[in-house]
Structure 1
Amino acid sequence: MAWEFVLRDNVSFHDGTPLDATAVVDALTRAWTQPGVLKKAPITDISEQDDKIIFTLEKPFTALPAFLAHATTIIPAPSALDVEGNPAHLIGTGPFQVTEFVPPQSISMTRFDGYWGKKPILEAATYLAAGRAETRALLAESGDANIVFTLDPSGFSHLQRVDSITTQSVPIPRVVALKVNAGHPFFDDARARQALSLAVPRAGIAQAITRFPEAAAEQLFPPALNKWHSQDLAPLETDLDKANALLAELGWTKGEDGILVRDGERFSILLRTFPDRPELPLIATALQDTWRDIGIELEVSVASYSEIPKGHQDGSLHVALYARNYGLTPDPVGSVLQDFGTGGGDWGAMGWDNPEAADAIEVIASTADQDVRAANITKVAGILHQELPVIPVVWYQHTVSIDKKLGGVVVDPLQRSYGLSEMYWTE
């Protein structure tokens, strides 16, 4: 089996060298041999022939074009790499070229006049990373930033009253979720994970913390993923009595201090999260309060997001709270295969394998038959809904503020493009 791709003519990298088949094959081979979505594709070889890029596969894989749109498959110029083949510069083929990069805080770029497509109207742009939501809101209000993404509820509410700004809230395929170590003795029975889910106050979190009541996650895949979101699944609910009953079935009894005990061991666990998304620590605190009501002692650690994949890899993770984007590839099967295929993933299942789900995901990624695909998507969604290796909390709303003097702004619900090429100043 093979896929063949024909390169567009007359495309140049920002350093003036041509985009040719050799550069593409070298870049994609490097991506294939490193961690990323291509590692999950059944590729046996990437080669070139007559200016075509040829992927040789072990078996049919219709998801390949979607995988090639992932961030890890970007094709840089050969000069972007050092002598050892490691990334050293940002040199691509897009409508803007990088002029300055100060990781992890900022990147500046100017219009690339040699771009093959429609030329941008804007001459330059700068991206600035600001970790604190309060800082982002202040940058918007002061006019020091023309577009600001990911505002906290209070900042978003305040900016709606600022005359020079328009705001948008766009449903996106990102979910605030709990990753549970299903290999831990506390969580290796699905009933334990179901009990945790029953003790998640989704409606309260959506109302009081994210302030989008309609975003309480009734299932893992949000409505923005219409082919994966199921109308047939019973909505996840909050019911502490049911949670207590499930834990009692598993042999847990409350001690004198109200914390559950089984075989002399307290139900005491650590939840890891990070502050980059301002709602996460607040949600963690809400969970800490509610889970104590069912006898679970929850310690919260707010640190770097890297602590979550680290805990996955070394086996120390109990529970993690994070936001997962299922739109990182145009077809969500890319993220689903990484998260819930055999072996799980850093941002998906841990200590949980379901051969039926894994087989169904493989079918979804390989078939062109839309009816077969839909049936297997339904199967996967149902298994995840019942087994809960990842527990959904709230669906995400992408909050954005935009300077009214800036036109042509379209907020991408998949968060794949800022749309700089279409923007322009109105005055």
Structure 2
Amino acid sequence: MNRREFLISTSLLSLCMGSGLSSAAHASEDEAVIVLGRQESGSAGYDPVRSTSLSMVAGLIYDRLVEQDADDQSYHPHLAESWETSQDGLTWTFKLRQGVTFHDGEPFNAATIAWWIPKFTGTENETMTSAIERVEVVDDHTVRFVMKRPEPNLIYNLASVNMGIPSPKSYEAAGDAGYGVTEAIGTGPYKLESFVASQETVLVANGNYAWGSDLTGNKGVPSLKRLTMREIPDASTAFLELKTGGVDMLLDIPTDFLPQLKAQPEIGFRGLPSYGVTFVAINTQIPIFSDMRVRQATALAIDQGAILKSVYGGAGKEAHQFLISTLAESKVDPTVEIHYNFAKAGKLLDEAGWVPGENGIRVKDGKPLKVKLWARADTEYRRMAEIIQAQLKAVGMAAEITIFDEGMYRAEFKKKDRELVIEPYSWTNANILDDFFSAKNLDGWNLSLWNDPKSEELNERAMHGSATWEERVANFRKYHEYLLANFVGVPIHEPAQTLAFNNTRLNLPAPLRMPFTLVDMTVK
């Protein structure tokens, strides 16, 4: 949203602040209308095997073997009642829940899993199951995965939204073109009634549901019998819909609007756990930043606390490492965390030979300390870029800001003339470090162009050298610490998604877990 759109949005919002929240116009009392957030919009369908962009709606249509709690990233049984792995990590055995049926009446059993896992071969989601050599059916409700190699991160993959299990009969009958659009059949608490891409999805409660996970209080049929999940790209329109009763809940609130909305007693708020990190990637291959002292000075010159306060109004957290704080792999040695230190930044630049020059900009060998700073066109990233520009100038570095829209931003990554890049990501797994800092991704997401033999060795050990989850965590911590110690980027902010809802109509249980909370939610 650009500045003009923001001003219009806040003006529209102000117009509707004088009156109370209207009663939602629903056909019955046991339904709700929910607006999906920016991260959840844009799904082309609900085929979990072939889709590369699935919203949380898929988590209501399909159950998974394992569920993950966003609060602490812990894993919980669901369609798998229990599981165990061999000491060498080469077999996983799952005991499956009995008495589960798909929306089409077909039974869920071990044969379902034996059919399902091979379906990922040749798809864009193949990496989810690529470590599995074969599936062995032990009995009707026990399966064993025989692995090609140890892969402790399989548990994370199995809890991912793409690992929702579809009905084999329905999937095969609908074919590639129809499945996920005209029908989507899982075992989940809701059934798909209709879907219009980029507009809305209508779900109705699964009347036979009786196998909720331990992440829900209600293990049976949802209290709300109908959910309409809408996509409204314009934030001001979405807020007006909430204000006038057209919708009951917004799943994502830009921080710009929070102060005004919090003045409304009829609107309730809940915070969702952090789901990613915004950081500044530093191009380690250009002459200025090939000197680690300059990279370190750049990192220490950026005040995360000031950005948290000025850009986000205190919403979210300061980030001092590259992973979200709820991950065990983020619990690094505190001495390698990156914190603002203005005095030390200046000393490092002095040591590197950059001396104060005219207009406060440092020089070395007659050349000024000037860099390019790239940012997306979104309001928050523009404002962040301006603050970082001022903070860098304070230590004698001139940063020239360039703003790109989403399409151009991605295209520019392929050119290697970038210097500083503000980059947000949404991911709750340590594998994101491989995406952003592995040398094999120099032509892709490795925005820092980081290419270091020891780093590659640590990355390989973290990604593929662990037989158990505990080993994986320890290996990723070492890799994470090495990246931080080499100042390949600057962690800035850990966003927290804010949910707004009509608190005169809806009861939301605590703690808030999405999408599982929608199964527990009731109407007042």
> What's the TM-score once normalised by structure 1's chain length?
0.79
1:229 deviates by 2.8
1:306-352 Cα offsets, whole Å, 9 max, x none, are: 6555544565654433433342xxxx334445445563596666422
Contact 1:111 1:123 in 2 (8 A): yes
1:251-282 Cα offsets, whole Å, 9 max, x none, are: 6678867767778798442513253xx53332
CA distance 1:282–1:133, shift in 2 (3 Å): farther
Residue in structure 1 matching 2:484, options 382, 385, 410: 385
Residue in structure 2 matching 1:39, options 127, 134, 140: 127
Q: Which residue of 1 aligns with 2:197?
A: 103
1:65 deviates by 1.6
CA distance 1:28–1:169, shift in 2 (3 Å): same
Q: How many residue pairs are counted as aligned between the two chains?
A: 414
Residue in structure 1 matching 2:158, options 68, 88, 91: 68
Q: Is 1:343 aligned with 2:431?
A: no
CA distance 1:348–1:62, shift in 2 (3 Å): same
One-letter amino acid of the counterpart of residue 381, structure 2: L
CA distance 1:348–1:410, shift in 2 (3 Å): farther
Q: Which residue of 2 aligns with 1:269?
A: 372
One-letter amino acid of the counterpart of residue 335, structure 2: L
CA distance in 1, matches of 2:515, 2:128: 24
1:358-383 Cα offsets, whole Å, 9 max, x none, are: 14523785325x4x556435423322
1:25-83 Cα offsets, whole Å, 9 max, x none, are: 554334454445x6277615243535555433233222212221122333334545764
Structure 1, unaligned stretches of length 5 or more?
none
Contact 2:302 2:388 in 1 (8 A): yes
CA distance in 1, matches of 2:445, 2:124: 13
One-letter amino acid of the counterpart of residue 43, structure 1: A
Counterpart secondary structure, 2:312 = coil
Q: Which residue of 2 aligns with 1:216?
A: 318
CA distance 1:366–1:311, shift in 2 (3 Å): farther
Contact 1:173 1:221 in 2 (8 A): no
One-letter amino acid of the counterpart of residue 91, structure 1: A
Contact 2:316 2:496 in 1 (8 A): no
Contact 1:205 1:286 in 2 (8 A): yes
Matches within 5 A, 1:240-259: 240=342, 242-244=344-346, 246-247=348-349
Contact 1:151 1:399 in 2 (8 A): yes
CA distance 1:14–1:282, shift in 2 (3 Å): farther
Contact 1:46 1:53 in 2 (8 A): no
CA distance 1:111–1:385, shift in 2 (3 Å): same
1:127 deviates by 2.0
Counterpart secondary structure, 1:421 = helix
Query: Which piece of structure 1 moves more, 7-16 or 194-203?
Result: 7-16
Q: Which residue of 1 aligns with 2:497?
A: 398
Q: Which residue of 1 aligns with 2:523?
A: 425
Matches within 5 A, 1:314-329: 315=416, 318-327=419-428
CA distance in 1, matches of 2:327, 2:313: 21
Q: Which residue of 2 aligns with 1:285?
A: 386
1:71-115 Cα offsets, whole Å, 9 max, x none, are: 233333454576457865251421112223233343221112243
Query: Which piece of structure 1 moves more, 101-110 or 248-257?
Result: 248-257
CA distance 1:241–1:136, shift in 2 (3 Å): farther
1:125 deviates by 1.0
Counterpart secondary structure, 1:388 = coil
One-letter amino acid of the counterpart of residue 158, structure 2: L
Q: Which residue of 2 aligns with 1:232?
A: 334
Matches within 5 A, 1:16-415: 16-19=105-108, 24-25=113-114, 27-31=116-120, 33-36=122-125, 39=127, 43=131, 45-50=133-138, 51=140, 53-78=143-168, 79-80=170-171, 83-84=175-176, 88-89=180-181, 91-93=184-186, 94-117=188-211, 118-212=220-314, 215-225=317-327, 228-230=330-332, 232-233=334-335, 235-240=337-342, 242-244=344-346, 246-247=348-349, 267-275=370-378, 279-293=380-394, 294-304=396-406, 310-312=411-413, 315=416, 318-327=419-428, 332-340=429-437, 343-344=440-441, 350-353=448-451, 354-362=455-463, 365-368=466-469, 370=470, 372=471, 375-404=474-503, 405-410=505-510, 412=512
Percent identity (aligned): 21
CA distance 1:182–1:56, shift in 2 (3 Å): farther
1:196-243 Cα offsets, whole Å, 9 max, x none, are: 322322121111221218822233344433563346335523345544
1:393 deviates by 0.5
1:292 deviates by 4.3
Structure 2, unaligned stretches of length 5 or more?
1-89, 212-219
One-letter amino acid of the counterpart of residue 320, structure 1: V
Contact 1:312 1:350 in 2 (8 A): no
CA distance 1:381–1:408, shift in 2 (3 Å): same
Contact 1:193 1:389 in 2 (8 A): yes
Contact 2:194 2:203 in 1 (8 A): yes
> What's the TM-score once normalised by structure 2's chain length?
0.66
CA distance in 1, matches of 2:437, 2:93: 28
One-letter amino acid of the counterpart of residue 172, structure 1: S
Counterpart secondary structure, 2:515 = coil
CA distance in 2, matches of 1:77, 1:254: 68
CA distance in 2, matches of 1:347, 1:15: 41
Contact 2:315 2:495 in 1 (8 A): no
1:358-415 Cα offsets, whole Å, 9 max, x none, are: 14523785325x4x556435423322321233421022222222221211344646xx
Task: State which structure, 1 or 2, has the greater radius of gyration over its C-alpha atoms.
Answer: 2
